[in-house]
Structure 1
Amino acid sequence: MTKNIAVVAANGKAGRAIVKEAVDRGFDVTAIVRGENGTVAPHALIKDLFDLTSADLAGFDAVVDAFGAWTPESLPQHSTSLRHLSDVLSGTDTRLIVVGGAGSLYLDSAHTVQLSQSEGFPEAFKPLAAAMGKSLAELRERSDVKWTYVSPAADFRADGPRTGEYVLAGEEFTTNADGESAISYADYAVAIVDELSAAPDDAHVMKRISVRW
């Protein structure tokens, strides 16, 4: 059965990559955008994320949240937007797949130290990491939403190639044999669509997963 999904903030770089991967793999995709649909999705809902209602998202098998905010004044929207989508989807069978951040990945098995707290983590990215980490912590409190939070590698490459391959990990920060943590948007999109394609017993519901090359 063809899966019917919506991608919120589909015009962004991550959103466009996810839409393309899903369309190429036979999903019925609706792009939710504030302006003209700039994706290959065959359907579009022109509406602000914060104005979405339960009726807007009814009937989708999954909603992918690709929203991002980067300026100091907009960073709190990582929490408010995710809270709004969670409230809209509360109590439904619709999955919520969240495009997350790497800064909240843990460096130890006790889960006491996050990547964003490590020496050498760029100061410029700490406010963003804190905002996204806060939104994840709040999402963990939700038992009424079938959420999955997907953290990319530390080096998230917008223009990297699509290899179709990646390593699936969990809450802890991992690297390859050369100590590198990287993935392209295209292969991150592959991982997102693989998660959307997973059988119920294999899906990572109410869990955070991470992907890298």
Structure 2
Amino acid sequence: MKIAVVCANGKAGQLIVKEAVNRGFDVTAVVKGENKSAAQNVIVKDLFDLTATDLTDFDAVVDAFGAWTPETLPQHSTSLAHLCDILSGTDTRLLVVGGAGSLYVNKEHTACVSDGADFPEVFKPLASAMAKALGELRQRNDVKWTYLSPAGDFQADGERSGKYILAGEELTLNSKSESIISYADYAIAMVDEIEKGGHIGQRISVVRE
């Protein structure tokens, strides 16, 4: 299986690459500069400069793009739209490293995590930008996309337990009433989805057991 990880030098990107490489997949890192991931194959290019030709023949493309400053937050939408455009009409799956703020907290799907009174104000612009990108992604029926949201507490340096619960659109708590996942366990879930998942055109989520 051939996998490309876009923005592979990020924390999530590096762990997804590592997980896929350790399973014996043919992994290509898409990076702007020096490759810091475990991938042996590299495309040195800005995400916005990628073309359909660059991503030909991949079974799956992982979008691990991240932006946090007010000036770059709109790129969550524009970068995802660009990847959708160049993968449009192909059999290549597009798997997006998503956010938790847009997970629903009621069965009617009218309220999100980011709407809560205790949601940190500092993260609201990011949650809003990612939710907007997800909303636009839902309109695409020309791309085989899957959006994977982490749990609310997404821990960059958390341990790799190897155990997780795959859930849907609603915020899901584990047996300890926690919404938590490490980047390492998230990477496992992402590669599992690439390998054997079939959630095309869906947003799913993951939480540590």
TM-score of the pair, normalised by structure 1: 0.97
- Who is 1:193 aligned against? 191
Is 1:155 the counterpart of 2:150? The answer is no
Distance 2:99 2:25 in 1: 25
- Who is 2:207 aligned against? 212
Unaligned runs of 5+ in 1: none
Residue type matched to 1:209 in 2?
I
Equivalences for 1:25-174 in 2 at 5 Å? 25-174=23-172
Residue type matched to 2:201 in 1?
M
Is 1:203 the counterpart of 2:195? The answer is no
Distance 2:25 2:194 in 1: 10
Secondary structure of the structure 1 residue equivalent to 2:43: strand
Residue type matched to 1:137 in 2?
G
Secondary structure of the structure 2 residue equivalent to 1:147: strand
Query: 1:119: how far off?
Result: 1.5
Secondary structure of the structure 1 residue equivalent to 2:20: helix
Distance 1:204 1:69 in 2: 25
Residue type matched to 2:165 in 1?
V
Superposed CA RMSD: 0.6
Query: 1:179: how far off?
Result: 2.2
Q: Deviations over 1:127-176 (max 9, x none)?
A: 00000000000000000000000000110011111111100000000112
Distance 2:175 2:115 in 1: 23
Distance 1:152 1:37 in 2: 25
Residue type matched to 2:5 in 1?
V
- Who is 2:173 aligned against? 175
Secondary structure of the structure 1 residue equivalent to 2:140: coil
Q: Which contiguous aligned blocks of 4+ residues in structure 1 show a shift greater than 2 angstroms?
A: none
Distance 1:187 1:178 in 2: 17
Distance 2:119 2:40 in 1: 40
Residue type matched to 1:48 in 2?
D
Distance 1:176 1:39 in 2: 31
Identity in percent:
67
Query: 1:103: how far off?
Result: 0.2
Residue type matched to 2:194 in 1?
L
- Who is 1:20 aligned against? 18
Q: Deviations over 1:14-69 (max 9, x none)?
A: 00000000000111000000000001101000000000000000010000000000
Unaligned runs of 5+ in 2: none
